[in-house]
Structure formats: structure tokens, C-alpha cells
């Protein structure tokens, strides 16, 4: 992976300097973008990782983890330095855009971090430390102005207030769709365990619902919700309308039900029968068997369903911006309409980080319920 990162930095554009947010700039590789003193740490780190990978040991993987994390933290700082150097040459109103070499090098280094954590059997604190190092380095560089000429940083600076608003809207929509989905999914799973006929019909309906494209489902809800809002004033008073939060919430709940219900059903029906018989033999009632035996044993698989549901919902919420629901998709679709890729990234990167954070949190909770270290 480190060799591929070196190739990407040598032969692909590391960054380009644009006269404004729309007009393209001329891309340059890292060796042409920065002086040796700035580019050497990145190349040196990549070469060191390549050397260590030939004879991997525990200590080698530890060094690889630290080195790859440092390189990831340095990449945006180096791009910021490139922008500052170009601006100092008289191009004060220009901005530096990140190129393919930057993204590929960061991607390969991230794969090295993941592989090193796996080989080291790293706990949550070591993984969290890697994230803090990268995030802290970027935050410090932004605070002290090292990133001020990056196009992505400028888009964020101009839209800070809107960014906070849309991030709150995104989080709110995810939370309020997850809560009823989790409760309804558990209730439907319990119902399915008690009725074979209900199980067949239920999973058939949920599977069909899952196959409907998200944008189509958002659109299908506009007409009936608009009609209901016009016919019933109390619905309109609580905010129900054809576009916005309500249709997005209904669609997201519908999409979330299948993974939640399926995982909960598999978990609840997967309890070994001898365990249930032993619990009943001890005098437990059916409710006690469910709460004290079946549910604790099913918890890891149920949490896995919550993880799938959450990550899926975070991604689909971005699409809900097309019907006025807000969220980070607002920036994505604005950027696509204006051919401003950094504006697209302003919405896409936080969405990805949000999904990865939720995935890591539920993975940790699942491992904890299984008794993993």
C-alpha cells in the first residue's frame, strides 16, 4: 500500500491552484508543489512503511501505525502550505484544490492504519488516539491559518453557520428516524417469532419496500402528504407537508425496518433450545425467559442490526435534501449544480465521518456485549 501511495504522490496531481472556486487550476505532483523540506517527511514515512512491511513484527506494525497516522495528518497541512506558497507569489485570491494524488495517498495510508490495528489487535483507545492525532493536527493547522488557502477550508469558512445548521438537521433526522425504527423493528421481530404466517407476509412487504429507490420513495410521498395536510388542519399545524422533514422521516423509517427487523428476528430465534428449557426448568416465566435469557443472548446481533440501520440512514439522509429536508446533502447537491467539487466535499466528508463514527461505536458496543476485549 505504501508503494502505491508513493506512486500516487509522484505521478498524480497532489493539488492545483485555482483562480476561483469554479475555474480549474493546473495540477502538480507533490515533488513540484513543495520544496524538499516539506515533501520529504511524507515520502520518508511512506518509504519507512514499505521497508517495515517486508518483515512485519509486532513492533514493526506499531511503527507503521504511528507513521501512517502521522502521514495522514501531514497531508492536508502540506496541501495548505502549497496554497500559501502560491498565494505569496501574487495570487492572493486563488485557492488550492486537492488532487487525486492527495486522496489516493490518504486512502492507502488509511488502509495501512486499519491493517496495523488489526494485526496489533488494537483496542478502542489506540484507535481513538489515531483519530485524535489526525483530527487534532487538522484543527490546529486550521486555527493557525495553515489551511486558509485550501478551497475546502474556504468553503467551510464562508458557510460556517449554515454548516452547523445543516449538520444539526442531518443529526436530528437520523435520530428521529432511528428511534421509531428500532422500537418498531423489535416489535415486528417479536411478532414474527410468534406467527409463521405473519413472518412470511412481514418480510415480503419489507423486502419490497427496500427495493424502491430512495429518491422515488421520497417523491411518492409528496402527493399523499400534501393532500392530507390540505384536508386536515391539525396535521398542517404540526408541520406535516409534502416536502421537508415529514416525507423524509417516513421514508427513512421504512428503509430502516428491514435490517432492524431481520437481525432482531434472527437473534431472538437463535437462542439454543436447551438454554431456554433450562431457564424454564428453573421456574422462570416466559417474560423472564425473554428478558433475562433470550434478549441478553440476542443483544450482539440486535446491535449489529442497529449498526447497519444507522449507517444506511446516515447515507440516505443526504438524499433527503432534494425534497427540502436539509442535512449535509444540501451542500452536495448545491456543489453538483454549481460544478464546485469542494462544496460537494464539504457535505460528503462529514457524512462519511458521521457514518464511520456510528459504525465504530456500534462495533464497540457489539464487541462489549460479546465479552470481546
Each residue's pLDDT tens digit, 265-315: 888 888 777 877 787 777 777 778 777 888 888 888 888 888 888 998 998
314-337, pLDDT tens digit by residue? 988 888 888 888 888 899 988 888
Pick the CATH number of 160-369 from 1.10.3720.10, 3.30.565.10, 3.40.50.2300, 1.10.10.10: 1.10.3720.10
Q: What is the pLDDT of residue 56?
A: 75
C-alpha cell at 119: 494485526
- Phi, psi dihedrals of residue 292, rounded to the nearest 5°: -100, -15
Give the pLDDT band of residue 80 (cuts 50, 70, 90): confident
Query: Rounded distance, CA 103 to CA 105, Å?
Result: 6
Tell me the helix, strand and coil percentages in the chain, rounded to 5.
Answer: 80, 5, 15
193-211, pLDDT tens digit by residue? 887 777 778 888 888 888 8
CATH 1.10.3720.10 in the chain: give the residue spans.
160-369
DSSP H helices, 212-340, are 214-231, 233-237, 245-269, 273-281, 286-289, 295-319, 329-338
Query: Rounded distance, CA 252 to CA 60, Å?
Result: 45
Q: Dihedral of CA 130/169/317/142: which sign?
A: negative
Tell me the average pLDDT across 135-142. 85
Torsional class of 90: left (φ above 0), alpha (ψ -120 to 50), beta (otherwise):
left
Mean pLDDT over the full length of the chain: 81
Kindly list the distances between the CA atom of residue 231 and the CA atoms of 219, 250, 251, 324, in Å, as whole numbers in the listed order.
20, 19, 21, 22
44-64, pLDDT tens digit by residue? 777 787 777 777 777 887 888
The torsion defined by the Cα of 145, 147, 150 and 156, in degrees rounded to 10, comes to: -80
**Most confident region among 3-17, 32-46, 84-98, 301-315 by mean pLDDT:** 301-315
Statement: residue 372 has pLDDT above 60: no
68 and 109 in contact (C-beta within 8 Å)? yes
Q: What is the pLDDT of residue 371?
A: 58
Give the pLDDT band of residue 65 (cuts 50, 70, 90): confident
Tell me the average pLDDT across 344-356. 88
Query: Rounded distance, CA 37 to CA 82, Å?
Result: 12
Give the pLDDT band of residue 111 (cuts 50, 70, 90): confident
Q: Could you report how far apart the first and last alpha carbons of the chain are, in Å?
A: 28
82 and 15 in contact (C-beta within 8 Å)? yes
Q: What is the pLDDT of residue 21?
A: 66
Tell me the average pLDDT across 11-24. 75
Statement: residue 91 has pLDDT above 80: no
**H-run or E-run covering 95:** strand 95-98
Coil/strand/helix, residue 97: strand
Q: What is the pLDDT of residue 90?
A: 62
Statement: residue 189 has pLDDT above 50: yes
Give percent of the chain above pLDDT 90: 2
Query: Rounded distance, CA 333 to CA 303, Å?
Result: 32
Query: Rounded distance, CA 133 to CA 110, Å?
Result: 13
Tell me the average pLDDT across 357-369. 81
The more confident residue out of 182 and 231 is 182
Task: Provide the greatest CA pair distance for the chain.
Answer: 84
Give the pLDDT band of residue 373 (cuts 50, 70, 90): very low
The more confident residue out of 124 and 298 is 298
Q: What is the pLDDT of residue 112?
A: 84
Q: What is the pLDDT of residue 61?
A: 79
Tell me the average pLDDT across 360-371. 77
The more confident residue out of 251 and 6 is 251
Amino acid at each position: 500500500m505504501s508503494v502505491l501511495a508513493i506512486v500516487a504522490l509522484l505521478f498524480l496531481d497532489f493539488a492545483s491552484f485555482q483562480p476561483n472556486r469554479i475555474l480549474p487550476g493546473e495540477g502538480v505532483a507533490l515533488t513540484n508543489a513543495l520544496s524538499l523540506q516539506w515533501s520529504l517527511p511524507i515520502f520518508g514515512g511512506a518509504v519507512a512503511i514499505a521497508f517495515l512491511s517486508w518483515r512485519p513484527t509486532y513492533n514493526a506494525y506499531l511503527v507503521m501505525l504511528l507513521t501512517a497516522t502521522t502521514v495522514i495528518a501531514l497531508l492536508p497541512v502540506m496541501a495548505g502550505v502549497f496554497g500559501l506558497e502560491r498565494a505569496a507569489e501574487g495570487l492572493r485570491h486563488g485557492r488550492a484544490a486537492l488532487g487525486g494524488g492527495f486522496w489516493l495517498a490518504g486512502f492507502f495510508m488509511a488502509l495501512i492504519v486499519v491493517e496495523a490495528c488489526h494485526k496489533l489487535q488494537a483496542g478502542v483507545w489506540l484507535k481513538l488516539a489515531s483519530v485524535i492525532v489526525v483530527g487534532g493536527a487538522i484543527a490546529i493547522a486550521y486555527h493557525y491559518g495553515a489551511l486558509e488557502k485550501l478551497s475546502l477550508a474556504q468553503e467551510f469558512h464562508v458557510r460556517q453557520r449554515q454548516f452547523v445548521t445543516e449538520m444539526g438537521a442531518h443529526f436530528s433526522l437520523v435520530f428521529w428516524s432511528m428511534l421509531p425504527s428500532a422500537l418498531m423493528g423489535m416489535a415486528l421481530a417479536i411478532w414474527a417469532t410468534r406467527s409463521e404466517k405473519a413472518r412470511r407476509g412481514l418480510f415480503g412487504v419489507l423486502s419490497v419496500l427496500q427495493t424502491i429507490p430512495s429518491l422515488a420513495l421520497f417523491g411518492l410521498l409528496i402527493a399523499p402528504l400534501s393532500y392530507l395536510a390540505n384536508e386536515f388542519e391539525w396535521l398542517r399545524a404540526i408541520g406535516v407537508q409534502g416536502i421537508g422533514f415529514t416525507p423524509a422521516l417516513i421514508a427513512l423509517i421504512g428503509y430502516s425496518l428491514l435490517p432492524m427487523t431481520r437481525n432482531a428476528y434472527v437473534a431472538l430465534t437463535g437462542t439454543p433450545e436447551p438454554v431456554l428449557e433450562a431457564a424454564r426448568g428453573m421456574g422462570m416465566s416466559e417474560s423472564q425467559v425473554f428478558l433475562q435469557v433470550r434478549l441478553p443472548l440476542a443483544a450482539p446481533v440486535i446491535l449489529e442490526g442497529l449498526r447497519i440501520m444507522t449507517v444506511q440512514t446516515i447515507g440516505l439522509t443526504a438524499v433527503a435534501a432534494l425534497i427540502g429536508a436539509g442535512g449535509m446533502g444540501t451542500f452536495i447537491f448545491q456543489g453538483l449544480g454549481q460544478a464546485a467539487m469542494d462544496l460537494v466535499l464539504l457535505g460528503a466528508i462529514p457524512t462519511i465521518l458521521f457514518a464511520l463514527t456510528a459504525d465504530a461505536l456500534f462495533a464497540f458496543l457489539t464487541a462489549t456485549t460479546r465479552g470481546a476485549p
